[in-house]
Structure 1
Amino acid sequence: MMNSPIALTAACLLFVIALLVVDRLQWPLARAFTKLGASTCFVWLAIVLGAMQSRYGQWVLGALVLGWLGDALLLGKRSAAFMAGLVAFLLSHGLYATAFVSGPLNGPAMAVALVAACAAGVVVLRWLRPHTPAPFKAPVLVYVVVILAMCAAAAGHAVASGRWIVLWGAVLFAVSDIAVARQRFVRPSPVNHLWGWPTYFVAQLLLAWSVATR
């Protein structure tokens, strides 16, 4: 396994490009290999950057591992696999939020971000809920609340610490989830993957790199 952060970052991005290609070609085995290859790269990147050497890094590493698990579960198309993947990513967002609040926080910035997040959440839920099957309505609501709280915590932490990479990672993660929701509940289309996967994997890379600037 390579131990260069730059090489791991590049490998992850190359896996994502390959993922977009094989997904378009509808090669399921190659899709699983490239997706989990990209996920493995961001987990290993955090380890190489010293995630285990700080409490913040350990929380982030836990979130990344849950992201890897969620990626594996979302390879399946059954509702049970999707629900399990939803839970994995819900916990991942929770661990990210825990990492952010474990460091310095700017209260006013976090409050402003929370107001903005609530407004965004209302818009997203009004768009999404009419398309969401009954068994998923409550989990989706909880998921939206948790990810927006994570973004607000990221804003408070970024302003207090000057580590803007955290906020960019959190926001891109939230944006990528819109692509997942659109693909699953609203309008399945290869276009969702074209912007959803790059934003997701870049988000994970940014948050993995954040352990080096703790």
Structure 2
Amino acid sequence: MKLRAIDLLFLAALIAGGSYYADHWLDLDEPIAIAWKGSGVGLLALWAFVRGRPWIGLVLAFGALGDMLLNAVGLTVGAVAFLIGHILAAGFYWRSNSSGVAVPAFITVSVSLSAYLLSGDIGVAIYSLGLGAMAGTALTSRFPFATVGLGALLFVLSDLLIFARLGPLAASPLPGLLIWPTYFAGQALIAWGVVSELAREDLHDRL
């Protein structure tokens, strides 16, 4: 079956993001590493825009910006870009929430508390309120758990590994091996799940 140009764009995103894992062992010049790091989620964002889904495209674009700023400027500035994306995503998912406030609120507080216990940093806890809100609203939205819900959980896991590296796993190689694959897999699942579900709903509405 012949792939459409749009499908090839998603495939290019997977190749770019998946291959960045090799940077864990490579000593590349910083500009090259930064551009490579941002290319995976950046292409996912472009794919979402091309598919006519600007809302999730914007969320992904802030993720790509955060990826690059983490390396170029530092953790705090990169976290701000991610936090904006989390807030936008939570607002997007909340529009289709059907479980009320309790479950998303519980997940939000649990993620924030876990982040604080791992890092001992109140700033990390504040950022993680946005991370938890994104995950909580994604898990209680109309979007499939197998893609969007799982992707949100992988995103949370990736960030918790970062925070653990600031605390109890500071001497462990495990976070360095798992942070990127869990993060990028999460972003790819979210992108595919949201765009595919909205396309399915549009098709259903036309029938």
TM-score (norm 1): 0.77
1:28-39 alignment, distance < 5 Å: 28-29=29-30, 30-39=32-41
Distance in 2 between residues matched to 1:50 and 1:207, nearest whole Å: 16
1:67-106 alignment, distance < 5 Å: 67-76=63-72, 81-102=74-95, 104-106=96-98
SS at match of 1:107: coil
**Structure 1 pair 142–15 and aligned structure 2 pair: CA distance change class (3 A):** same
Distance in 1 between residues matched to 2:109 and 2:79, nearest whole Å: 20
Q: Residue 166 of structure 1 corresponds to which residue in structure 2? A: 148
1:130-169 alignment, distance < 5 Å: 132=121, 137=122, 139-157=123-141, 161=142, 163-164=144-145, 165-169=147-151
1:25-64 alignment, distance < 5 Å: 25-29=26-30, 30-52=32-54, 58=55, 60-64=56-60
Distance in 1 between residues matched to 2:68 and 2:111, nearest whole Å: 28
Percent identity, aligned pairs only?
Answer: 26
Q: Please identify, of 37-46 and 5-14, the stretch whose mean Cα deviation from structure 2 is larger.
A: 5-14
Q: Residue 212 of structure 1 corresponds to which residue in structure 2? A: 196
Q: Where does the alignment leave 5 or more consecutive residues of structure 2 unmatched?
A: 199-207
Q: Where does the alignment leave 5 or more consecutive residues of structure 1 unmatched?
A: 53-57
* Mapped pair 1:177 → 2:169: no
SS at match of 2:71: coil
Q: Please identify, of 29-38 and 63-72, the stretch whose mean Cα deviation from structure 2 is larger.
A: 29-38
**Structure 1 pair 6–125 and aligned structure 2 pair: CA distance change class (3 A):** same
Distance in 2 between residues matched to 1:204 and 1:117, nearest whole Å: 19
Q: Which runs of 4+ in 1 moved over 4 A?
A: none
Q: Greater relative contact order (Cα 8 A, min sep 6): structure 1 or 2?
A: 1
Distance in 2 between residues matched to 1:71 and 1:153, nearest whole Å: 23
**Structure 1 pair 188–201 and aligned structure 2 pair: CA distance change class (3 A):** farther
Alignment check: 8 A CA contact 2:115 2:125 kept: no
**Matched AA of 2:40:** A
Deviation at 1:5, TM superposition (A): 4.3
**Matched AA of 1:149:** A
Deviation at 1:180, TM superposition (A): 2.6
Aligned-residue CA RMSD (Å): 2.5
**Structure 1 pair 153–116 and aligned structure 2 pair: CA distance change class (3 A):** closer
Alignment check: 8 A CA contact 2:34 2:71 kept: yes
Alignment check: 8 A CA contact 1:49 1:212 kept: no
SS at match of 1:75: helix
Q: Deviations over 1:116-171 (max 9, x none)?
A: 55345433322221xx4xxxx3x2121111211221111221xxx25222212211
Distance in 2 between residues matched to 1:3 and 1:66, nearest whole Å: 26
**Structure 1 pair 40–143 and aligned structure 2 pair: CA distance change class (3 A):** same
Alignment check: 8 A CA contact 2:67 2:78 kept: yes
